[in-house]
């Protein structure tokens, strides 16, 4: 019995570490994405200042469009995951 309890505690510890690592990866990804987008947008304004209107606007609009697309896609995936989990819980209840 003690061995099963130790194994269960070990598994819970590993799961907690995996969750913490996933959160850290998501946070780093968000920060790096923000930095890259900020650099591109600033670069677009620099191009506008230099008289390169088409390139500057394309840079700014492209960066903002990609940020919005990532946000919308992320929300879609979260909603899909919630619906899948809800369906799985309902299936378990109906057994």
Dist CA 39 CA 56 (whole Å): 12
Spatial contact of 37 and 66, defined as CB atoms under 8 Å apart: yes
The answer, as to whether pTM is greater than 0.85, is no
Residue 51 backbone zone (phi > 0: left; psi -120 to 50: alpha; other: beta): left
Q: pLDDT (tens digit, 9 = 90+) per residue, 41-56?
A: 999 999 999 999 999 9
Which sequence spans correspond to the domains of the chain?
Answer: 2-93
Q: pLDDT (tens digit, 9 = 90+) per residue, 60-79?
A: 999 999 989 988 998 999 89
Closest CA to 67 of 37, 28, 25: 37
């Amino acid at each position: 019995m003690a061995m099963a309890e130790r194994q269960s505690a070990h598994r819970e510890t590993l799961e907690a570490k995996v969750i913490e690592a996933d959160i850290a990866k998501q946070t780093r990804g968000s920060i790096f994405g923000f930095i890259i987008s900020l650099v591109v947008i600033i670069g677009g304004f620099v191009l506008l200042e230099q008289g390169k209107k088409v390139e500057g606007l394309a840079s700014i609009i492209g960066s903002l469009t990609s940020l919005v697309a990532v946000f919308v896609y992320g929300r879609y995936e979260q909603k899909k995951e919630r619906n899948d989990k809800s369906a799985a819980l309902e299936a378990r209840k109906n057994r």
